Structure 1
Amino acid sequence: MPVTSADKRATFKKMHERGCFVLPNPYDVGTAKALQHLGFKAVASTSAGFAWTIGKADNHVTVDDVCDHLTAICAAVDIPVNADFEGGFAVKPEDVAVNVARGVKTGVAGLSIEDSTGDKDRPLFDAALAVERIKAARGAIDANHSGVLLTGRCEGFLWGVTDLKLVTERLQAYAAAGADCLYAPGIKTKEEIAAVVKAVHPKPVNLLIGASGLSVKQAEELGVRRISVGGSLARNAWAGFMKAAREMAEQGSFTDLAHGYPGGELNKMFR
């Protein structure tokens, strides 16, 4: 029996009720299917990882690009897909709502909205506007009772705004505005993580972990509900590609190609 979008959304919401799970970030259909094959129960898109697959920099893709990408991934796997929907591809709340409605139609089980402007001199939207953007996303999600889980993100730490009080107050405001899950990418210390978890309790918290960081067990002990890795898997893939390609270009040799993943195993996984 086919797994429907409604099934995936119900499953995804239940996953946020207790414990801690890893929500890895594929960057195309193949990597999404591979992560499902490995036993992950849900995945999340990555704005950077996807952008690189179409030869663009992070935050330089269009809402059309992203919705096509999300539609393809959701159709390819039987597990829930959470969308990195950047800042909703708009500034005004009413335009964010229009785009979120489009995102919901792709079949995603969850969707996140950021509060960063892209302007290093004024990195975050004014607090009141940021809250209205979350409210607009909530309204778009609820308009047809979709059941999509909304994550509110405060990007302060990624943009050098490391005032933890400011970040936690924003997350609390996003929770009050309708966000189901809260996320402050860039926090790393146990003290920072614990403070965010406490500030938005009982709503779940997503933690970004890169090359180093806490284990799943340690994150769970701090009260984290889910862990994502952003563009880290994509960067790992690009590391292997660039190393082998650079050897060919600069040395005229091909030794690094011996480290590739076995083609037979890939064919078996995708058969």
Structure 2
Amino acid sequence: MSRIEALRALHRRRSPGDPLVLPGPWDAASARVFVEAGFPALATPSAGVAASLGHEDGQTPADEMFAAVARIVRAVDVPVSADIEGGYGIAPKELVERLLETGAVGCNLEDSEGGVLKEPRRHAEWLAEVRHAAADRLFVNARIDTFVRARQDADPKRTAEQAIERAALYVAAGADCVYPIGAPVNVLPLLRSGIQGPVNVHGTVTGGPSPAELGELGATRVTFGPGLHRTATQALRGIAADLTT
């Protein structure tokens, strides 16, 4: 079975309480740690990779991001999905080819730019171009930013409805999975009931619902963004502090 076939198979027939858990490596060493722990696939976080390269989140040059993803893919023998943010302004065909050159078999693509949500139909058209260029070679995870871009006083239910509307457009455009990042736990059942296909939910490393609990609420898969990198960095700070005493 090829890596893309393996990644697709991992998303199928997930039972409640048993979501696909995808840790986020930021370099080759962390990727090997996760695979040695038994995880069947990985999903890189753009913020974690950015930090490992000395950049702020969202400021990593495309060439550096693709090179970092390639190093992670070479280090492991499991499928890797790459967070390539908003696509770096690269045309869909070139974007797909550059990603495939890294060896990644999946991608995370977000629907906001500069802190502003993109027009959903236009973004869906762009996703359709990505899907056409990728054919069946990539598993496309379409991130939905309605929650992270919502006003603080926004009604979570209304924001969830907006996410469901976007999800329908993105799935119709060919997205394999949608990712309503930042969705409060209490709206996950609503999202699950309104979205066709796999749903990616953001998990927490310490505290908060477990991956199994998120699965019970509707998550098909759970990722952690830069959470694992930040937790590892905090642990390293503690070690460093101990060395100075």
TM score, norm. by length of structure 1: 0.81
Percent identity, aligned pairs only?
A: 30
Q: Could you tell me which residue of structure 1 aligns to residue 169 of structure 2? A: 173
TM-superposed CA distance for 1:230, in Å, is 0.7
Q: Could you tell me which residue of structure 1 aligns to residue 109 of structure 2? A: 113
Assess if the C-alpha contact under 8 Å between 1:89 and 1:96 holds in 2.
Answer: no
TM score, norm. by length of structure 2: 0.89
SS at match of 1:157: coil
Q: Could you tell me which residue of structure 1 aligns to residue 83 of structure 2? A: 84
Q: Distance in 2 between matches of 1:130 and 1:67?
A: 22
Assess if the C-alpha contact under 8 Å between 1:244 and 1:254 holds in 2.
Answer: no
Q: Could you tell me which residue of structure 2 aligns to residue 129 of structure 1? A: 122
Within a 5 Å distance, the mapping from 1:52-91 to structure 2 comes to 52-90=51-89
Q: Could you tell me which residue of structure 2 aligns to residue 154 of structure 1? A: 144
Assess if the C-alpha contact under 8 Å between 1:23 and 1:42 holds in 2.
Answer: yes
Assess if the C-alpha contact under 8 Å between 1:111 and 1:150 holds in 2.
Answer: yes
TM-superposed CA distance for 1:243, in Å, is 4.0
4+ residue segments displaced more than 4 Å: none
TM-superposed CA distance for 1:165, in Å, is 1.3
Q: Distance in 1 between matches of 2:92 and 2:31?
A: 26
Q: Distance in 1 between matches of 2:47 and 2:175?
A: 23
Q: Could you tell me which residue of structure 2 aligns to residue 33 of structure 1? A: 32
SS at match of 2:140: strand
Q: Distance in 2 between matches of 1:222 and 1:180?
A: 20
Which has the bigger relative contact order, CA under 8 A and spacing at least 6? 2
Gaps of 5+ in 1: 1-5, 256-271
Paired residue for 2:201, among 185, 203, 207? 207
TM-superposed CA distance for 1:244, in Å, is 4.5
Rg larger for = 1
Assess if the C-alpha contact under 8 Å between 1:184 and 1:207 holds in 2.
Answer: yes
SS at match of 2:2: helix
Q: Distance in 2 between matches of 1:71 and 1:38?
A: 21
SS at match of 2:58: coil
Per-residue CA deviations over 1:183-221 (Å, capped at 9, x if unaligned) read 11101223x1112222222x1111101243222222222
Q: Could you tell me which residue of structure 2 aligns to residue 44 of structure 1? A: 43
Q: Could you tell me which residue of structure 1 aligns to residue 191 of structure 2? A: 196
Q: Distance in 1 between matches of 2:143 and 2:150?
A: 15
Per-residue CA deviations over 1:48-101 (Å, capped at 9, x if unaligned) read 1010111100100121111111111111101110111111111xxx72442132
11-20 or 236-245, larger mean C-alpha shift? 236-245
- C-alpha RMSD of the superposition: 1.8
Gaps of 5+ in 2: none
SS at match of 2:117: coil
Assess if the C-alpha contact under 8 Å between 1:188 and 1:213 holds in 2.
Answer: no
